[in-house]
Structure 1
């Protein structure tokens, strides 16, 4: 099978994007793994099959598959890239500055800005309201707090590991996230770091620590694991994505971090979340919805045999 593809990324979180508007493509986990392989394939954190929108006003449906072949309900950087794919290929009216992208977690309204060529350069996605109820995140951990409007949430619950004790706040943005705010790096064990003599977010061995917590019994559907350092003017974050490993950015993860920081009293409603691949602007608005602003770029396109 010969496939035409485009390679796009949002803040370094990269995707192989394939036109599947006729719904004729069914990729096996092995084929997805090959496409995502950075040595033998194209290289990506996941594959997005762009399918026809299903709700009124939707220009496309994002069918997102993780690098390990598992299906994902939502991907914040992926939905921006899907919007760019649709805008740049004329699926959205050339005079428009907004569209909707359907996902497995529901339709996502998107406002976007164009460059001088009329191509999309950045977008703000209405990610909807976060899910905090433990059973719906899901997590088996018991609620430890409540928001101003009375919603229960799991906040700063300690889980032990061979790398030290980590305190997690649990949020779903259409997929489960466990956010660890780390305020005492020296308290973590040397095994958690690639350079134990310089313990920090930069030297945290995210692939090793994240791989321990992703399938933890506390998270029945596994979880994306975020590690966060609170800085003077931003939240610094690294992420182990469920079904992938560490990625340069995670849009739903950045949203979860913004929500978790607010509900645990660590920040206000508006934050810049700085990831390895760039910065995402997150607003947890007073209407209860999360809005994420960030870039999307196409790197190249081509053909590949499967």
Structure 2
């Protein structure tokens, strides 16, 4: 199987041009993403024929554990770059619409001079604030006996804490929160440190992946949560610093659409043997 490897501020993906949702199985995706026995990645993205004639392509994401999320913000930037590089007549247009399981997403790609990277702006769809979540976690430090989270829907499920615990606590409670019974399909858990109204330092425990270098939908969720709490302003750009780099996020209003701008980069191309 031919593939291309891309990364968006450290969130890395194996991208495969495919014809069917089943061209890569969940088991194969987990094998390919293994960083010791496979290629190594946070997920596999299948670039599929669109269902609507006026759309460029359809995105299907398989996480490193084989699970299938509705949407991936860094992933769609990487996919938009891939289409712009391999199908420039389509992907390099000013506004290109891609289908995702969370709905259509519009991308604008500004290629770098070497055509290996791009600055990509994505219309991320609505950011819906779902309200406070009080999730009891026993056996943790007293200040985290109940974790104060705000539920946010960005086309996929998020819960955002606007206070940032230590890395050791995040390692302990991240996987427990992401698989908590309050989230039947799992959730991405963001831990945000709001430095000021225009800057957020964020780490995300991503369902199906773990602690990740970057999460685009998580950045949108964090900005939405900060705006809902009065710590940032609706419609104003907010820089979100993640371990792998920075994104710029705008959330127009509560329940309104978000826009994300950030880089994507081609890493290498190859061919891999895929087991059954």
Residue among 64, 78, 82 paired with 1:81: 78
Over residues 55-85 of structure 1, what are the superposed CA-to-partner deviations in whole Å (9 max), with x where a residue is unaligned? 2432111110111111111000111111011
Residue among 30, 34, 41 paired with 1:33: 30
Q: CA deviation at 1:29?
A: 2.5
How many residues align? The count is 265
Over residues 183-222 of structure 1, what are the superposed CA-to-partner deviations in whole Å (9 max), with x where a residue is unaligned? 6x5xxxxxxxxxxxxxx4xx34433221111111221221
Residue among 94, 107, 112 paired with 1:110: 107
Per the alignment, residue 6 of structure 1 pairs with 4
Structure 1 contact 87–120 (Cα < 8 Å) conserved: no
Per the alignment, residue 136 of structure 1 pairs with none
Per the alignment, residue 68 of structure 2 pairs with 71
Structure 1 contact 112–120 (Cα < 8 Å) conserved: no
Task: Calculate the aligned-residue CA RMSD, in Å.
Answer: 1.9
Q: What SS does structure 1 have at the residue aligned with 2:113?
A: coil
CA distance in 1, matches of 2:92, 2:265: 20
Q: What SS does structure 2 have at the residue aligned with 1:18?
A: strand
Structure 1 contact 206–238 (Cα < 8 Å) conserved: no
Question: Which of structure 1's runs of 4+ aligned residues deviate more than 6 A?
Answer: none
Structure 1 contact 75–251 (Cα < 8 Å) conserved: yes
Residue among 249, 267, 274 paired with 1:299: 267
**Pair 1:171-2:137 in alignment:** no
| Cα pair distance change 1:72/1:24, threshold 3 Å | closer
Q: CA deviation at 1:154?
A: 0.8
| Cα pair distance change 1:211/1:93, threshold 3 Å | closer
Residue among 201, 205, 217 paired with 1:252: 217
Structure 2 contact 3–14 (Cα < 8 Å) conserved: yes
Q: What SS does structure 2 have at the residue aligned with 1:80?
A: helix
User: What residue ranges of structure 2 are gaps of 5+ in the alignment?
Assistant: none
1:1-306 matches, cutoff 5 A: 3-20=1-18, 22-23=19-20, 25-93=22-90, 96-118=93-115, 121-132=118-129, 153-155=130-132, 157-161=133-137, 162-163=139-140, 164=144, 165-182=146-163, 185=165, 200=166, 203-232=167-196, 233-269=198-234, 270-286=237-253, 288-306=256-274
Q: What SS does structure 1 have at the residue aligned with 2:160?
A: strand
Of Structure 1 and Structure 2, which has the larger fraction of its residues in strand? 2
**TM-score for both structures, normalised by structure 2:** 0.90
Over residues 103-147 of structure 1, what are the superposed CA-to-partner deviations in whole Å (9 max), with x where a residue is unaligned? 111110112212224565111111111233xxxxxxxxxxxxxxx
| Cα pair distance change 1:171/1:94, threshold 3 Å | closer
| Cα pair distance change 1:68/1:220, threshold 3 Å | same
User: What residue ranges of structure 1 are gaps of 5+ in the alignment?
Assistant: 133-152, 186-199
Q: CA deviation at 1:264?
A: 1.5
Q: Over alpha carbons, which structure has the higher Rg?
A: 1
